[in-house]
Copies of this chain bind each other. A is one copy, B any other.
Amino acid sequence: MIFAVLGGDGRSAHLCRRLAQEGHEVRAFALEGAGELAGAYAVPGARECVTGADCVVLPMPVRTAQGALFAPQSSAVHGLGEVLGAIAGESLLLGGRVDKEAQAMAAQRGLHIHDYFAREALTVGNAAVTAECALEILMRETPATLWRSKVLVIGFGRIGKLLAQRLHGLGAHVTVSARKDEDKAWIDALGYAYADTRALGGTLGGYDIIVNTVPAPVLTETLLREVRADALLLDLASSPGGTDFAAAEKLGLRVIWALGLPGEAAPQRAAELIKESIFNILEERYGTA
């Protein structure tokens, strides 16, 4: 198959390499700064890139706040409209985290952008990558080890589940907090200690490490006052996070707020997941890819 990969960060570069490695023809545009693309070849224009391609892969996210193609590895700025204008109707068009604006721009040109990021499989895989990247941060930042540490994971969504499992495997003493009786039962069935997210007061002084995964104001100033001065706080919740960062700073606590970990700390694995998501879409559309 012929793939056209336009823009994107390190993940797009790894995606090019991987697709080429698997024997596809891969044309890359607006990835000049990404280094050696091993088998994929760079083309200077969007039109050249997409013409005749079976599958056009836009980046994640598709566009910048200014409406340009998201292309941090390129020194030039390319309007998204210009790129979309070059695409023929018969190509399968894909993009990540496609917003309404971008979708509307595509529709104007009679195109539809399939969102490879909106698939549950990719979301779960990204959570696995995020969990491991979180471990890397914790290992780097603590002068102790996760082994023997008392760790609280707040929230039992995808990331909470996978992070708890991995911390447990590393020999940490893991407590997971949640709200639902059902989650309590799962936490118990999987062998971790349980805490009630609504009743953390009076317990936080017991932890060496606290990781929040809940995108709601959980770690308020009142609670943060209980945290030990030598504890480490990591917030993985999407904006605006779940920690009162101002209060934490005032109290002199060490807080790290980490977003977008897969693309930053494990772009190759993140690209592999995107590749799998793309092939799932291809398979649904055309049968065996």
- Interfacial residues of chain A within 178-199, with CB under 8 A of chain B in the complex: 180-182, 184-186, 188-191
| B132 and A139 contact, CB distance less than 8 A | yes
Complex Cα distance, B136 from A124, in Å, reads: 23
Copies of chain A in the complex: 4
- A-B complex: 5 closest residue pairs judged by Cβ atoms: A169-B169, A124-B185, A120-B182, A143-B268, A121-B185
Residues of B within 8 A of A160 (CB): none
- A148-B269 CB under 8 A given contacts A121-B181, A136-B139, A168-B169: yes
- Interfacial residues of chain A within 120-164, with CB under 8 A of chain B in the complex: 120-125, 127-129, 132-133, 135-136, 139-140, 142-148, 162
Q: Is A171 an interface residue (CB 8 A)?
A: yes
**Could you tell me the distance in whole angstroms from the C-beta of A44 to the nearest C-beta in chain B?**
26
Residues of B within 8 A of A244 (CB): none
Binding site for B on A (CB under 8 A): 10, 14, 119-125, 127-129, 132-133, 135-136, 139-140, 142-148, 162, 165-166, 168-171, 180-182, 184-186, 188-191, 265-269, 272, 280
Choose from B144, B169, B180, B266 the contact partner of A266 (Cβ within 8 Å): B144
| B189 and A132 contact, CB distance less than 8 A | no
Residues of B within 8 A of A168 (CB): 169
From A172, which residue of chain B is reached at the shortest CB distance?
B191
| A162 and B189 contact, CB distance less than 8 A | yes
